[in-house]
Chains A and B, each alone.
Chain A
Amino acid sequence: MKKRVKLIFPKRSVHMPITYRLAKDFNIAANIIRAQVAPNQVGTLVVELSGDIDHLNDAVDWLEVQGIEVSGASGEIVVDEDLCVHCGLCTGVCPTRALTLDSETHRLTFSRSRCIVCEQCIPTCPVQAISTNL
Chain B
Amino acid sequence: MRTIDGINDKIRQGKAVVQTAEAFKAHAKEQGVAAAAAAVDVVVTGTFEPMESSGAMLNLGHTDPPIKLLECYLDGVPAYAGFGAVDVCLGASQPAVAGRGADLGDPEAVREHGGGHVIADLIAGRSVPLQATGHGTDCYPRTSLETTITRDTINQFYLFSPRGLYQNFIVGVNGGDRTLSTYLGPLQPRLGNAVYANPGALSPLLNDPDLEAIGIGSRIFFGGGVGYIAWEGTQHFPLQRRLPNRTPIGPAATLALIGDAKQMRPEWVRGCYFKGYGPSLMLGVGVPIPILNEQVATHCAVQDADIVAPVMDFSIPRRVRPTFGLVSYAQLKSGSITIEGQPVRTAPLASIYLARRVASELKTWIEAGQFELAAPVAPLPQDRAFLPQDALGG
Stretch at the interface among B98-106, B188-196, B228-236: B188-196
User: Chain B interface mostly helix, strand, loop or mixed?
Assistant: strand
Stretch at the interface among B285-293, B297-305, B349-357: B349-357
Cα of A86 to Cα of B354 in the assembled complex, Å: 7
Residues B353 and A93 in contact, CB atoms below 8 Å apart: no
A72 at the interface (CB under 8 A from B): no
A3 at the interface (CB under 8 A from B): no
Cα of A88 to Cα of B347 in the assembled complex, Å: 6
Instruction: Report which residue of B49, B195, B272, B347 has the largest number of chain A beta carbons within 10 angstroms of its beta carbon.
Output: B347
Residues A124 and B186 in contact, CB atoms below 8 Å apart: yes
A85 at the interface (CB under 8 A from B): yes
B93 at the interface (CB under 8 A from A): no
Instruction: Report which residue of B188, B192, B352, B356 has the largest number of chain A beta carbons within 10 angstroms of its beta carbon.
Output: B352
Residues A90 and B273 in contact, CB atoms below 8 Å apart: no
Taking a contact as CB atoms closer than 8 A, the residue among B273, B335, B351 that contacts A85 in the complex is B351
Residues A124 and B356 in contact, CB atoms below 8 Å apart: no
Are A88 and B272 CB-contacts (below 8 A) given A93-B188, A126-B50, A126-B185? no
Residues A89 and B356 in contact, CB atoms below 8 Å apart: no
Q: From residue 49 to 102 of chain A, which have CB atoms closer than 8 A to chain B? A: 85-93, 100-101
Cα of A123 to Cα of B50 in the assembled complex, Å: 17
Are A92 and B194 CB-contacts (below 8 A) given A124-B185, A127-B282, A128-B273? yes
Cα of A89 to Cα of B348 in the assembled complex, Å: 6
User: Chain A interface mostly helix, strand, loop or mixed?
Assistant: loop
Residues B352 and A106 in contact, CB atoms below 8 Å apart: yes
Q: From residue 169 to 197 of chain B, which have CB atoms closer than 8 A to chain A? A: 185-186, 188, 192-195
Across-interface contacts of A91 in B (CB, < 8 A): 335, 345, 347
Across-interface contacts of A93 in B (CB, < 8 A): 185-186, 188, 192-193, 347
Residues B194 and A107 in contact, CB atoms below 8 Å apart: no
Residues A85 and B348 in contact, CB atoms below 8 Å apart: no
Contact with A along B191-220 (1 / 0, CB 8 A): 011110000000000000000000000000
Are A85 and B345 CB-contacts (below 8 A) given A107-B353, A123-B186, A123-B275? no
Residues A126 and B282 in contact, CB atoms below 8 Å apart: yes
B280 at the interface (CB under 8 A from A): yes
A105 at the interface (CB under 8 A from B): yes
Across-interface contacts of A85 in B (CB, < 8 A): 48, 270, 282, 351, 354
Across-interface contacts of A107 in B (CB, < 8 A): 353
Quote the shortest CB–CB distance from B84 to chain A (angstroms): 34
Cα of A123 to Cα of B272 in the assembled complex, Å: 12
Please give me the residue from chain A that is nearest to B48 by CB atom.
A85
Across-interface contacts of B351 in A (CB, < 8 A): 85-88, 106
Are A89 and B349 CB-contacts (below 8 A) given A126-B282, A127-B272? yes
B274 at the interface (CB under 8 A from A): yes
Across-interface contacts of B49 in A (CB, < 8 A): 87
Taking a contact as CB atoms closer than 8 A, the residue among A89, A92, A120, A127 that contacts B270 in the complex is A127
Query: What are the 10 A-B residue pairs with the smallest beta carbon separation, nearest first?
Result: A92-B347, A92-B193, A126-B272, A86-B353, A106-B352, A106-B353, A87-B351, A123-B275, A89-B185, A88-B348
Complex A-B: 20 CB contacts under 8 Å: A87-B48, A87-B349, A87-B350, A88-B347, A88-B348, A92-B185, A92-B346, A93-B185, A93-B188, A93-B192, A93-B347, A100-B335, A101-B335, A106-B356, A108-B353, A123-B275, A124-B186, A126-B282, A126-B349, A127-B282
